[in-house]
Every structure is written in structure tokens, then in C-alpha cells.
Amino acid sequence: MKEVILIKNGELALKGLNRRTFEDMLIKNMKNRLRSLGDFTFEVQQSTIIAQPDSEDIDLDQAVERVGRVFGIAAFSRAAACEKDFQKILSCAAEYLEEDLEGASTFKVEAKRSDKKFPLTSPEICREAGGYLLNKFPHLTVDVHNPDITVNIEIRDTAAFIHGRQIKGAGGMPTGSSGKACLLISGGIDSPVAGYMMAKRGLSLTAVHFASPPYTSEKAEQKVHRLLERVTRFSGRIGLWVVHFTEIQENIKDNCPEEMFTVIMRRMMMRVAQLIAQRENAGALITGESVGQVASQTMPAIACTDAVCEIPVFRPLIGMDKDEVIDIARNKTDTFDLSVLPYEDCCTVFTPRHPRTRPTLDYAEKAETGFDWRPMVEEAARTARLVVIG
């Protein structure tokens, strides 16, 4: 029996004229994500995309798992494809859904007929198939309102498709359909979640990580690679730029007031990240900040950071509690266990004892005049090392 995946796209349906482009993007993303399992042929029929494995030995369990992480999909199901011959459709339904039907006590049949040349109408298909299945599985009764299982029969142009359960998709919009943004990723809990959330809104990602060897270790960078790898299961491939940040940090430490270390460091990060974003054609920055979480994330501190940004900064976690972020890190991105591994981040290297929580912009600007940071920022962006993840 030939099995396929039937995909119902989510918000795409709302996009009117752009729909084709969005669908093409969704298909491209699925192809990329499924490639290592084997080739699939994709076909769009009405608002459904049919993904058909090109060979029998493709692992469909794996494929279904991966499709479940592709953004832009509202729901999908595994389905049996069958010739449009009603007797064959009936026996295929009984065989394909045997286990589910054995385990259920109530069922109903739902039929969709987009091929109007098929000799039976949808109500006729439901009636006939219902009778056939009752006969085959005499323990079942029909319940049209709240059945244990719904047997779906779709008669389409190329074939008939039979499926039971629908699986909820990852939602959101196809990655790439909203453009590209640059994620500032630390090894913490928040930034991978922030990347995931923006990828869900259709942004493809490039990433920047600031490393300060020898204060931060090779292991800390490896941890970031592993975190991003988990994000790529949703976002697709990510180019990570690793910035050598030591010189800038040491200069901040030696030449700026201690209470301003963090704010100035964040302003420097934003400056470097913007140069990289520009090179990468990314239209915004993404951070994992949340109001009030730490000293550098008070409103005045964020204002000081934003003042150096000429492109939008997306902070999808801004109004979230840590618990809510952890919930996503545990149950969606599966990054929590990695994030809590205890490696130092450059942020923790020169943490001031008493950071100023209400810095003014004037003071921040004055505080950073202690050294000539411009060439260092340019150098840091220019010498960043690219690691391709996923």
C-alpha cells in the first residue's frame, strides 16, 4: 500500500495573491528538511499539499516527525493512496485503519470529492463506506458527533486518499517568507527560544555569537552549535558568525566605569551584530531579552541598547516570565537540557558588582568614550568566523 503525507497549510490560506509563493516556499522548506531521508514528490491540490515518497524504503515515521516541525502547516495526516475504484477504496480503508478501528467503539466516515467525475457523491460515499465498515467491524457503532475515529475518504484528481487521525502542525508561517533576521545567541535558555519564535513568524535566521577566549572556552562555543542545531530542526540551516569579542571586553573593563560594563557591552554587541546583519542581508536583530529579567534588561538599559540600533530589534520574549520561556525550551525547542550546561558566557566574564539599572543615554555615551571602539567593532565584525549549522 502506498502511503503519503497530506499537508494542510495554516495562515497561508489567508495570503490571497501571494499564496503560490508561500506554498512554493513551504514545499522548498519541506524538501530541505526531508532530503536526508530520501526524495519526495510534492503536488498541490486545492489547499492541500501531497508529499509522496519516491521510494518504498523511505522512513515515513521520521518524515512525519520532521514535517511536524515545519512552520506554515496547520495540520497534516498520514494517508493511504489508492486507485479511484470504490471497492478498492473500501478494502483499503478497512485494511489501512484496521488497528484504529479495532481499538475504537464509535466511528464516522467523512468524504470529500474534488473529482466530480467520481460516480458516487460525498453523502453516498459516507453511507456506503459506513455500512461496509460496520459489517467488517461489527463491534463498532456510528457516532457522527463525537466519534473515537473519523475515517476520511478524499477523492482527488490523481487518486483517492484514506486517513484517520489528523496531526496538529507547527503553525506559523513558512521560514523565509518574512525575510531574514540575525539572532544574537548566547548559551542561555532564552535566545534559542527567541530564534524559534521568530522562525515561526516566517523569518529565516542567521546567528551571531560573541566569544571571549580565553575567558570563555571552546566548550561554550560547542554548546551554542548544539543549541542552534536544535533550532534548525524548525528553522532550517543557520549560518553562525562567531565573533572574537575579547579585545572589546577587555577595553570596556579597563576604560569604562564598572557600573556601566554590561550596558556598554550590549551596545557594542549590537553594533557588531548590525554590521554582520548588513553583510548577511538581514533586516532585523533578534534577542532573548525580557523586561526586568536582569540589570541590562530594565527599560532604561534597553533604551540605551536600542539607541545604537538602526534596524528593528525583535525581542519575542519581552513580556514573558522565565517559566513560560522554560516551558517552550523544554517542550518545543528541546533546548533546556543543553542551555543549563554550566559553561561561562562572555556576559558573565566581567559582571559589575553593582550594575546601574537606570542608565541614561547621555551617561552611556559618555561612559564609552574611554576607548576608541569604532575600529575594534569593525574588526570584530570583519574577522567573525562562519560555522554552518544544520
- 263 part of the interface to ligand ATP, by CB under 6 A: no
Alpha helices, H only, the chain? 19-34, 60-67, 86-96, 98-103, 122-136, 190-200, 218-235, 246-255, 261-279, 299-306, 322-331, 336-339, 361-367, 373-382
Report which DSSP code applies to 188: S
Residue number with the smallest Cβ distance to Mg ion: 188
CB atoms within 10 A of CB 383: 10
Asked if residue 288 binds ligand ATP (CB under 6 A), the reply is yes
Is position 296 an interface residue for ligand ATP (rule: CB under 6 A)?
yes
Distance CA 300, CA 315 (A): 15
- Answer for which of 3, 280, 345, 368 binds ligand ATP (CB under 6 A) is 345
Q: Considering beta carbons, is residue 160 or 185 the nearer one to ligand ATP?
A: 185
Q: If binding is defined by CB under 5 A, does position 186 make contact with Mg ion?
A: yes
Cβ neighbours of residue 240 closer than 8 Å, sequence gap 6 or more: 185, 206, 207, 208, 209, 224, 225, 228, 386, 387, 388, 389
Report the partner that residue 305 touches, choosing among ligand ATP, Mg ion, none (CB closer than 5 to 8 A by kind). none
The site for Mg ion, by CB under 5 A, has a size of: 2
Q: Which residue has its beta carbon closest to ligand ATP?
A: 188
Check binding of 172 to Mg ion (CB under 5 A). no
- Residue 152, phi then psi, degrees to nearest 5: -95, 130
Question: Could you say which of ligand ATP, Mg ion, none residue 293 binds, taking C-beta under 5 to 8 angstroms by partner kind?
Answer: ligand ATP
Q: Is 264 in the site for ligand ATP (CB under 6 A)?
A: no
Q: Judged by CB under 6 A, does residue 149 bind ligand ATP?
A: no
Q: State the DSSP string of 37-52.
A: G--EEEEEETTEEEEE
Cis peptide before 147 (omega within 30 of 0): no
In the complex with Mg ion, the residue whose CB is nearer, 164 or 188, is 188
Among 72, 188, 192, 359, binds Mg ion (CB under 5 A): 188
Q: Does 272 help bind ligand ATP (rule: CB under 6 A)?
A: no
Return the range that interacts with ligand ATP (CB under 6 A); candidates 129-137, 149-157, 253-261, 341-349: 341-349
Q: CA end-to-end span of the chain, whole Å? A: 33
Rounded CA-CA distance 364/151 in Å is 65
**CA-to-CA distance for 208 and 331, rounded, in angstroms?**
25
326 lies in the binding site for ligand ATP (CB under 6 A): no
221 contacts ligand ATP (rule: CB under 6 A): no
For residue 294, the partner it binds in ligand ATP, Mg ion, none, with Cβ less than 5 to 8 A by kind, is ligand ATP
85: amino acid identity, one letter? D
Q: What is d(CA 282, CA 181) in angstroms, rounded to the nearest whole number?
A: 5
Which residue stretch of 101-109, 250-258, 281-289, 374-382 sits at the interface with ligand ATP (rule: CB under 6 A)? 281-289
296 binds, among Mg ion, ligand ATP, none (CB under 5 to 8 A by kind): ligand ATP
Which residue has cell 477523492? 155
Quick check: 356 binds ligand ATP (CB under 6 A)? no
Q: Name the residue nearer to Mg ion (CB basis): 73 or 347.
A: 347
Residue 149 site contact among ligand ATP, Mg ion, none (CB < 5 to 8 Å, cut-off depends on kind): none
Cα(4)–Cα(51) distance, integer angstroms: 6
Site map 172..211 versus ligand ATP, x via CB under 6 A: ------------xxx-xxxx----------------xxx-
Q: Does 289 contact ligand ATP by CB under 6 A?
A: yes
Which CB atom, from 78 or from 223, has the smaller least distance to Mg ion?
A: 223
Phi, psi of 205 (to 5 degrees): -115, 145
Cβ-based nearer residue to Mg ion, 141 or 351: 351
Asked if residue 305 binds ligand ATP (CB under 6 A), the reply is no
CB of 388 to ligand ATP, least distance (A): 17
Per DSSP, the residues of 99-120 read HHHHH-SEEEEEEEE--TTSSS
- The contacts of residue 160 (CB under 8 Å, 6+ apart) are 81, 82, 83, 84, 89, 92, 153, 154
Q: How far apart are CA 261 and CA 273, in angstroms?
A: 18
Q: In the complex, which residues of this chain contact ligand ATP (CB under 6 A)?
A: 184-186, 188-191, 208-210, 287-289, 293-294, 296-297, 345-347
